[in-house]
Amino acid sequence: MKASTLAVASAGTIITGLLAYAVYFDHKRQTDPDFRKSLKRNNRRMARVVKEEAEAQGAQFREGIKQAVQQAKEEGFPTDLEEKEGYFMSQVAKGESLCTEGADKIEAALAFYKALKVYPQPRDLISIYDKTVQKEVLEVLAEMVAMDPTLKLDGTFTGGGGSADGHGVE
C-alpha cells in the first residue's frame, strides 16, 4: 500500500470521526433536556461573568477619572488673568494634541477640563467642545464636569455644594 493512499485513508477516517461527533453532539443538544439545561446554564454563567467584568472595568475607569479630577484640583489653577490665558491656551493645545495622537482619553479630557476651569464662560466653551472634540473624550469630560461640584456652568465658581443649574454632584 502506498503512503499517499494510507494518508488519504487516515484523513478520511479522522474527518468521518469528527463529522460523527458533530452529529452526535447536535443530536444530544436537541434531545437531551439535561444537556440543554447544562448548555443554557453555562451560557448564562458566561454572560454574567462578561457583564461583571464590564461593570468592574467601568468602575475602574470612573475611579481613574475621579482621581484625575482630584489631582487637578490639588495642583490648583492660576488666578491672574494673564496666567489664566496662557494656561488655557496650553491646556487646549495639549488636549488637541492628545486627541490627534489617540492617547489616553482621560489625559486628553483632563487637559480640556483644566482649560474649562479657567475659562470665564464655561458654558460657551462646552458648546465649542461639542463641535470640535472627539465624542469619546467629550464623554469623559462630561463625567469630569459632573464630578466637580465647584464648577458652575453659568460662568461663576463656588467653593462647593453643587452648581446653580443642578449639574453638580454632591
Write out pLDDT tens, residues 63-105.
988 898 888 888 888 888 888 899 999 999 998 888 888 778 8
Q: Is 103 exposed, middle or buried (0-12, 13-18, 19+ CB in 10 A)?
A: middle
Q: What does the pLDDT read at residue 163?
A: 37
Q: What does the pLDDT read at residue 17?
A: 95
Spell out the domain ranges in the chain. Answer: 44-147
Q: What does the pLDDT read at residue 152?
A: 66
Q: Which residues contact 155 (CB under 8 A, 6 or more apart)?
A: 120, 121, 122, 123
Identity of residue 162: G
Q: Rounded mean pLDDT of 7-19?
A: 94
Q: What does the pLDDT read at residue 25?
A: 86
**Helix locations, 32-169, DSSP H:** 33-75, 81-101, 105-118, 122-132, 135-147
Write out pLDDT tens, residues 18-66.
999 999 988 888 888 888 888 899 999 999 999 999 999 989 988 988 8
Share of the chain above pLDDT 70, in %: 89
Identity of residue 1: M
| pLDDT above 60 for 166 | no
Q: What does the pLDDT read at residue 154?
A: 53
Q: Which residues contact 104 (CB under 8 A, 6 or more apart)?
A: 98
Q: Is 116 exposed, middle or buried (0-12, 13-18, 19+ CB in 10 A)?
A: buried
- Give the chain's largest Cα–Cα span: 94
| pLDDT above 60 for 155 | no
What sign results for the dihedral spanned by CA atoms 100, 106, 107, 108?
Answer: positive
| pLDDT above 70 for 107 | yes
Q: What does the pLDDT read at residue 72?
A: 87
The x, y and z cell numbers of residue 61, run together, are 475607569
Q: What does the pLDDT read at residue 150?
A: 76
